[in-house]
Structure 1
């Protein structure tokens, strides 16, 4: 069998690591978003099904959903700035 004459691409390991880190940050934000949407659905279902008895819990779920979305977005932006500046903190060893 003859060796392949096509050149293999030369990937920069630093760029690949940075891209993986950015994608992990985006996946984490999407997890916050997905959880927030689930809480919105749960809260609206409670409000529709039991408007008198469970409305407090339903509105509480909506408030928690908004808070979770805000926290997720703030964490995403903070980590994005750290990644862009290559200032990702090292994990604390116990």
Structure 2
């Protein structure tokens, strides 16, 4: 992965600026992983409810959690890509 400030001449960025961009890139990646972890938990919970419990509320919650996991995954990916694009724009100023 190329650094978001790779196109900027080194004289234009101080070490503090480079480290701040690196921290922000890492924070963006951690946020994506948090979205994916949440989606995986929703998926696992929904499947577990459907598989092991036969009550109406469990079926409703299970079938709600599974598509919600897909929505959370898409939202996380969109947010990650949007922030990554903005960071690359900052790095090329």
Q: TM-score range by the shorter chain?
A: 0.7 to 0.9
Q: Deviations over 1:45-80 (max 9, x none)?
A: 001012463222211101111100100000000000
Q: How many residues are matched?
A: 77
Find out whether 1:27 has 2:38 as its counterpart.
no
**2:59 aligns with one of 45, 55, 64:** 55
Matches of residues 1-94 of structure 1 in structure 2 within 5 Å?
12-51=15-54, 53=56, 54-86=58-90
- Structure showing greater radius of gyration is 1
> Cα RMSD over matched residues?
1.7
TM-score where L is the length of structure 2: 0.76
TM-score where L is the length of structure 1: 0.75
Name the CA distance, whole Å, in 2 between partners of 1:40 and 1:49: 14
Give the structure with the larger helix fraction: 2
Select the structure with the greater relative contact order (CA < 8 A; seq sep ≥ 6): 2
